[in-house]
Structure 1
Amino acid sequence: MSVETTAKTYLNYINGEWKESASREAEASINPANKQEIVGYVQKSVREDLNQAVQAACQAQRQWRKLSAPARGEYLYRMADVLERNLSQIAETMTREMGKTLPEAKGETARGVAILRYYAGEGMRKTGDVIPSTDAEALMFTSRVPLGVVGVITPWNFPVAIPIWKIAPAIIYGNTVVFKPAQETAVTAAKIVECFAEAGLPAGVVNMVTGAGSVIGQGIVEHPDIAAITFTGSDQVGKAVGQGALARGAKYQLEMGGKNPVIVTNDADLDQAVEATISGGLRSTGQKCTATSRVIVQSGVYEAFKEKLLAKVKELQIGDGLATGTWMGPCASDKQLNTVLSYIEKGRSEGATLLYGGQRLTDGEWKNGFYVQPTIFENVSPQMTIAQEEIFGPVLALIKVETLDQALEIANDSQFGLSASIFTKNIGSMLSFIQKMDAGLVRVNAESAGVELQAPFGGMKQSSSHSREQGQAAIEFFTAIKTVFVKP
């Protein structure tokens, strides 16, 4: 069967202009629901392209930082308006490019609009404090100053929200940006940048260069004129980014993996817990860093919870994310599908009991896509691979426990500490969970995957570099404190 060859070619965006890579090479972005469809072609950039983008960002930053923060905020408001006008088109592109359902894609794009407006408002907030001096005649205060050029490296699973929650605070605080999106969702990224350009953002403030992580991502890490790097992605790559940035003294921020537990206690509302477990673990095909992966259930309700969970999961409609009624789309790529299938096989080989799913779907409407059934294992021991390593797919591991203390011990038995949730009606259990759970985001009677843009977000242990994104916490990474002492 022949593939579509009429798709548009998207260029890099450097210094306010769309430019072909110096390599003169592009690669196809494939629809994971139908591998015969090419969504678009994106540039396979080289270091020369990156150097041009960094130079443009350096030049633009000299004037951008001089602009008042409220004036920078006006640009963000306009960017939000343009993104909102193009919401449906961008959401459809996202679904075609990475597979999540259209309602989810629309919700994510709307969240991008809200993030831009939130940080536009940050331009009117205070950026320093007056501090008493021991010298009665002096004035001492702090101010926040931009870092310079920020490298933004983002993953494919949230191709609108994650770039915007990094780019928006970076530029409102006076930095300029070189943006390297995941190659798998670079068409969606280009459409976001098109909105920024349409809004009149000055040339060089945001630049986009697409290409391999080993070339452009590594180039950002090593470039002497990039003052800071904000990265979301895998644990392995994130650590390499941090090591490279540290070696040359650049500031860095890493958000990496998760192995997020939900605890279901004997007194939980089981219907609520089941709905949240399915939503938290299987929406977006489980391709979220905050997705529920381990389901730790007290023995008193284990069988009832399992029965309800299986009944609901069996009802889920799997298919093209653009189709009406689809609840779960495909894995984002052939590579990701194979990763998920390999973990399912590890679960089987290590002795876990496969309750449901576990198969690739290849018939009928699924034949050209990267589809896998939602998968549920039980009799999972805490040390099994599927209970320890991030799968990034629709796989749930059920673990039966007797007590809450045992549940918390297992929940904390992970190298990661991103998010966690508990379902209980007992306030003592709630407080114990809040106090003892080693995670950056803990939620009570709510799914593990909920993140609000106005609140700090980040993980503990190996899930992050211990910094926080979003909300007012973003100022801590994207600025430096300058202390000022004035004496007449």
Structure 2
Amino acid sequence: MPAFDNYCNGQWTDSESGETFEVRNPADPTEVVGEFPKSTAADTEAAIEAAVAAQEEWAETPAPERGAILRRAASRLEEQAEATAEMLSREEGKALAEASGEVARAVGILYYYAEKALDLGGTIKSSSSTDTRLETRVEPLGTVGLITPWNYPIAIPTWKLAPALVTGNTVVLKPASQAPIVAHQVAKCLDEAGLPDGVLNLITGPGSEVGQTLTMSDDVDAISFTGSTVVGQHVGETAAVEGKRVQLEMGGKNPTVVMPSADVDTAAEIVSAGAFGGTGQACTATSRAIVHEDIYDEFVNELVAAAEDLSIGPALDGYDVGPHVSESELEGTLDYIEVGEAEGATLETGGSVPTEARHESGYFVEPTVFSDVDTDMRIAQEEIFGPVVGVIPVSSYDEAVELANDTRYGLSASIVTENLSEAQQFVDDVEAGVVKVNEKTTGLELHVPFGGMKASSNETYREQGDAGIDFFTTSKTVYLNY
């Protein structure tokens, strides 16, 4: 059984507690894929201390040199992409093709921010006084804490790490306990690329110990969190009391609106990909299809056919849909399926644990489609985080937008239409941080901002692209009278 250590001050070390926890393959829970330190508050404090000690020298390192380290790390990760994708599939359950795409995304993020290092600096402004130079400078915040989820276990840590490091911050990273292996792989690549000791520290363990210590420490200047809304709100409240800069990206209840002008086959493919890709375990997953009544029945039939065409099985064996990451996640999805039936929605397909030999021990569930869903139902309002989509009928564009916005969340939304006016109007009307036309709600470009509205985010700073740099920096304005 592979054993993994914490990464603290340039060294791979055990927890001071001596305790560990296991990560198991969700397609075959009898297989232990890794053993990790069950770290304590003391371990976390040691990591913070190392980061603080390294921060001044790292901030003074020229930005292009910091970028060169990221570039070398990207190259190393790229060379190990195939093995890393297999690790990701084995620990998280994601289909291998999707895992490979996620690893490629992490590589791209490192390369992207390596090049952005060349553009870091400030601006020159015209002064209203003579003989005066007026300029701004961009500086790192200091030491930052990153708390990341299990569903994109390499992409999300990397899109937080890369801008934090390249702008001169030091980092303590807490990856999710369900899938920490690939975050270790990124740390290893950065270490081998020459990252100075203490600049990055990776600590595994429970949120009550590691996450809480990061959030409350006086020596941590900012917290970037991605995860559930309940935990995120607690992190935000605690960090705000401590005066930290906070970035929260949380849940979603993402709609795809399908209008009469849409090609129904294409619309069903878009919704199926958004709802069932990654086993529905994405904050941007499509969980509501809001469909005009003129094409409703035809759409439901096509979506059911698309769902039933998907193969279910272990991620490494080439199946379309892998398992849930854990037994508790599977049970949560099955509970919501029961809720949907009890509320009166029509279960069109799926809803059960598959029974073939390859499914015997894993956390599998069939892709599930409900029709006749009312917007007041729990399955239309609460995040399920599984391969479940509810189809809601509407009679007009205005009603579709009203229902799309009728949720506490506002992360991602899409519309399928061949009417340009509808498409443009939807972009204006929908309450979501990511809006797509004729595309699935999942999938993000790495060089543009990402984030939600309402309960999906604290709506301060976006992630990725230039916005990622903005969160991890502050500005200084300089008046120079010569």
TM-score (norm 2): 0.99
Map 1:131-210; keep pairs closer than 5 Å: 131-210=125-204
Report the counterpart of residue 431 of structure 1 in structure 2: 424
What secondary structure is seen at the aligned counterpart in 2 of 1:65? helix
Unpaired segments of 5 or more residues in structure 2?
none
Q: Is the 8 A contact 2:9 2:201 kept in 1?
A: yes
CA–CA distance in structure 2, aligned partners of residues 25 and 192 of structure 1: 24
Q: Is the 8 A contact 1:297 1:400 kept in 2?
A: yes
Q: Is the 8 A contact 1:230 1:252 kept in 2?
A: yes
User: In the comparison of the two structures, how many residue pairs are matched?
Assistant: 481
Report the counterpart of residue 227 of structure 2 in structure 1: 233
Are 1:93 and 2:87 matched, yes or no?
yes
Are 1:319 and 2:313 matched, yes or no?
yes
Q: Is the 8 A contact 1:293 1:395 kept in 2?
A: yes
Map 1:8-27; keep pairs closer than 5 Å: 8-27=2-21
Report the counterpart of residue 294 of structure 1 in structure 2: 288
CA–CA distance in structure 2, aligned partners of residues 474 and 313 of structure 1: 36
What secondary structure is seen at the aligned counterpart in 1 of 2:15? coil
Deviation at 1:404, TM superposition (A): 0.6
Are 1:342 and 2:342 matched, yes or no?
no
Which string of whole-angstrom CA distances, capped at 9 and with x for unpartnered residues, describes residues 422-447 of structure 1?
00011110111011001000000011
Q: Is the 8 A contact 2:70 2:111 kept in 1?
A: yes
Which of 368, 373, 396 does residue 403 from structure 1 map onto? 396
2:141 partner letter: L
Unpaired segments of 5 or more residues in structure 1?
1-6
Report the counterpart of residue 269 of structure 1 in structure 2: 263
CA–CA distance in structure 2, aligned partners of residues 13 and 373 of structure 1: 39
Report the counterpart of residue 248 of structure 1 in structure 2: 242
Deviation at 1:137, TM superposition (A): 1.8
Deviation at 1:363, TM superposition (A): 4.1
1:152 partner letter: L
Map 1:301-380; keep pairs closer than 5 Å: 301-324=295-318, 326-380=319-373
Q: Is the 8 A contact 1:152 1:163 kept in 2?
A: yes
Mean Cα displacement is larger for which, 313-322 or 356-365? 356-365
Q: Is the 8 A contact 1:291 1:448 kept in 2?
A: yes
Which string of whole-angstrom CA distances, capped at 9 and with x for unpartnered residues, describes residues 110-135 of structure 1?
11000000000111114321222222
Are 1:415 and 2:403 matched, yes or no?
no
Q: Is the 8 A contact 1:362 1:368 kept in 2?
A: no
What secondary structure is seen at the aligned counterpart in 1 of 2:125? coil
CA–CA distance in structure 2, aligned partners of residues 282 and 312 of structure 1: 10
Q: Is the 8 A contact 2:26 2:326 kept in 1?
A: yes
CA–CA distance in structure 1, aligned partners of residues 165 and 190 of structure 2: 12
Report the counterpart of residue 4 of structure 1 in structure 2: none
1:178 partner letter: V
Q: Is the 8 A contact 2:223 2:244 kept in 1?
A: yes
Are 1:49 and 2:43 matched, yes or no?
yes
2:236 partner letter: G
Deviation at 1:362, TM superposition (A): 4.3
Which string of whole-angstrom CA distances, capped at 9 and with x for unpartnered residues, describes residues 356-388 of structure 1?
111123441101100011111111100100000
Identity %: 47
1:32 partner letter: P
Deviation at 1:190, TM superposition (A): 1.5
Are 1:388 and 2:389 matched, yes or no?
no
Deviation at 1:202, TM superposition (A): 1.1
1:240 partner letter: H
Deviation at 1:309, TM superposition (A): 1.1
- RMSD over aligned CA atoms reads 0.9
Q: Is the 8 A contact 2:120 2:138 kept in 1?
A: no
Are 1:447 and 2:440 matched, yes or no?
yes
1:249 partner letter: G
CA–CA distance in structure 1, aligned partners of residues 254 and 105 of structure 2: 23
Deviation at 1:57, TM superposition (A): 0.6
CA–CA distance in structure 1, aligned partners of residues 261 and 356 of structure 2: 42
CA–CA distance in structure 2, aligned partners of residues 345 and 17 of structure 1: 48
CA–CA distance in structure 2, aligned partners of residues 124 and 481 of structure 1: 17
Deviation at 1:60, TM superposition (A): 1.1
CA–CA distance in structure 1, aligned partners of residues 238 and 306 of structure 2: 46
